Amino acid sequence: MANHKSSLKRIRQEQKRRLHNRYYAKAMRAAVRKLRATTDKAEAVNMYPSVQKMLDKLAKVNIIHKNKASNLKSKLQRYIQKLG
């Protein structure tokens, strides 16, 4: 157990931040899964900008790495191109 008031506060902040980050990371994974499950090209093309925006925002605030966001975006783009 922590001995200082500041370390107790730090623990509370980290826990709150971790829950926040896990929520958004989970939402991102669900959105990517939903896009990959789509077989209709028009629907996938409509969904892609919102997923791309979400990936960019999460990479910007370091919830996911910027290269991971880039890799996911390129793989999703390739998936959409193959749908046709």
Sole residue written with tokens 């157990």:
1
Give 33-71 pLDDT, tens digit per residue.
999 999 999 999 999 999 999 999 999 999 999 999 999
Q: How many CB atoms lie within 10 A of CB 47?
A: 18
Burial class (CB in 10 A: 0-12, 13-18, 19+), 13: exposed
List the structure tokens of 20: 């926040």
Give 5-31 pLDDT, tens digit per residue.
999 999 999 999 999 999 999 999 999
Sole residue written with tokens 């370091």:
62
At a CB cut-off of 8 Å and minimum separation 6, what does 77 contact? 48
- pLDDT band, very low/low/confident/very high, at 3 (cuts 50, 70, 90): confident
